[in-house]
Amino acid sequence: MPAETNKALVAEWFEALGKGDGRPMLKAMAPDIKWTISGRSSWSGTFQGLDDLRQNHLGPMFALFGGTYTNTAKELIAEGNNVVVRCRARGTTTGGVSYDNDYCWILRLDGGQLVEVIEYVDTLGVEQDLGAKPG
């Protein structure tokens, strides 16, 4: 798909994420998605496949949020199958801690499906706000 088409898809996903709705992005994830979180924290690592991602990252992370989690795109840059998103996530944990962190995601799409994410984030900030990853 052309870069502008991929950029438009990602913009739609982030429009929903900015309102606290992750379903469009989740629906677009390929079963064999690869998601890598940079850094050396307990939250860092690579998740291979949608089941691994849900069980070992998304599930534990979203269980810590007590209300709406949003992630708003600030900038999108597209080239070929890649879309780079500079974004800001916000939420409140079940313990009442405010979460506010900046991200840069490199998304790779194939035929409209999300096949890979490389996530750059302040992992120290993640651990300070969310604590060490459970498990």
pLDDT band at 135 (very low <50, low <70, confident <90, very high): confident
**Residues 99, 43, 72, 88: what is their CA dihedral angle, to the nearest 10 degrees?**
60
pLDDT at 32 over 80: yes
Full-model pTM = 0.94
Q: Would you say 119 and 36 are in contact if contact means Cβ atoms under 8 Å apart?
A: yes
- What's the whole-number mean pLDDT along residues 15-23? 97
Please name the residue ranges forming H helices in 1-135: 3-17, 23-28, 50-53, 59-62, 123-130
pLDDT at 39 over 80: yes
- What's the whole-number mean pLDDT along residues 76-99? 97
pLDDT for the residue 72: 98
pLDDT at 1 over 90: no
Question: Can you list the domains of the chain with their CATH numbers?
Answer: 3-130 (3.10.450.50)
pLDDT for the residue 106: 98
